[in-house]
Amino acid sequence: MLISSNGLFCLVDSLKDSTRIYNPSTGEISPSIQRSPGVRDRMFATYGFGFDPSTKKHKVVRAWRIPKAKIGVDGEIINCEVSTVGEDNTWRKADYGVNAVIRGSSVSVNGSIYWMKGGYFQSGFANYESLVAFDVGSEKFREISLPKSFRAYTFKLLEVDGGISVLHKLDDFEVNLWIFKDDKDNGKWIEEIISMPSDWDGTNLYQSVQQIPGTDIIIFKAKGTYDAPRHFISLYHYDRKMRTFKKVKILGLPAMMMTPRESFSLPNSLATSPPIDYGFFTMIESLSPVQKQQQG
């Protein structure tokens, strides 16, 4: 898994339960940060990577849940750890402090990392009630209630106008964009309806969605499918002010990539993994060190 934040990448190896930080501007990469000694029974671990603009520090956070049955009681508990890039090569415990199981991918926006709180399914939809936010500076968690009318099977968290937003599909050709105006006390949600272009493949809403910072442009990329190969190399630029789309073709890239992998069931043979699709990030240059600095 790859997570970006303010010029750096966090590379997560879920199988080995380790992370590394990479700075593409300097080419520097951190040592692997392994899981804490004695930590076991990780289930449904999720990761976040964010930047605190006040201290200019990046931090990695991960949380996982453990069924309380493993320790003799009902329900489940949430454990959380944090590591500061360039300072720590280990994890330290953090106080989770909210009664919520977080789901899916995270997004870092203006000093906080956001996840969706786990929902419950009803009539084909998942009823999500809130977001969970981690303040990178204070290392405190809080919940943000979603609009009461929010119902979605799939969703995407993204940054819009410097704040957290939630995008979800209404039908094959309309998506709903909820933008949160956060004042820390009485934030409010603003709704925008986006009509997708006529050649949009509504079966897969998005793989990558990003706003270009400082503009009204949101870039959409549908997840590639075998029956819709055009989306492997095409992006859609949406102008929120003009409410118009422009399709942009990316030339010079293969339509798809296949990665050979060794088959565990058939020794000395090659199996083919699913096709690798393209994603994209908005990036800035950074000189931030990613390795622990020597005290001089």
pLDDT tens for 105-163 read: 899 999 999 998 876 655 555 678 889 999 999 999 999 998 887 777 678 899 999 99
At 107 the pLDDT is 93
At 76 the pLDDT is 60
Residue 292: which pLDDT band, with cuts at 50, 70 and 90? confident
Query: Distance between CA atoms of 116 and 102, rounded to whole angstroms?
Result: 6
pTM over 0.75: yes
> What single DSSP character describes residue 295?
P
Which position has the token pair 């706003």? 211
Query: Distance between CA atoms of 187 and 181, rounded to whole angstroms?
Result: 5
Q: What angle do CA 86, 87, 89 make, to 5 degrees?
A: 90
Q: Residue 159: CB partners within 8 Å, gap ≥ 6?
A: 107, 109, 110, 165, 210, 211, 213
Q: Residue 217: CB partners within 8 Å, gap ≥ 6?
A: 211, 237, 238, 239, 240
Structure-model confidence comparison of residues 249 and 82, the more confident one: 82
At 233 the pLDDT is 67
Residue 224: which pLDDT band, with cuts at 50, 70 and 90? low
For residue 36, what are its two tokens? Answer: 């804490």
Whether 238 has a pLDDT exceeding 90, the answer reads yes
62-76, 104-118, 174-188, 194-208: least confidently modelled range:
62-76
For residue 269, what are its two tokens? Answer: 């043979």
Q: What is the pLDDT of residues 67-91, one digit of tens each?
A: 655 544 444 667 889 999 998 788 9
Mean pLDDT of the 207-232 span: 71
Mean pLDDT of the 46-54 span: 93
At 37 the pLDDT is 66
**With contact defined as beta carbons under 8 Å apart, do 164 and 180 qualify?**
yes
> What single DSSP character describes residue 49?
E
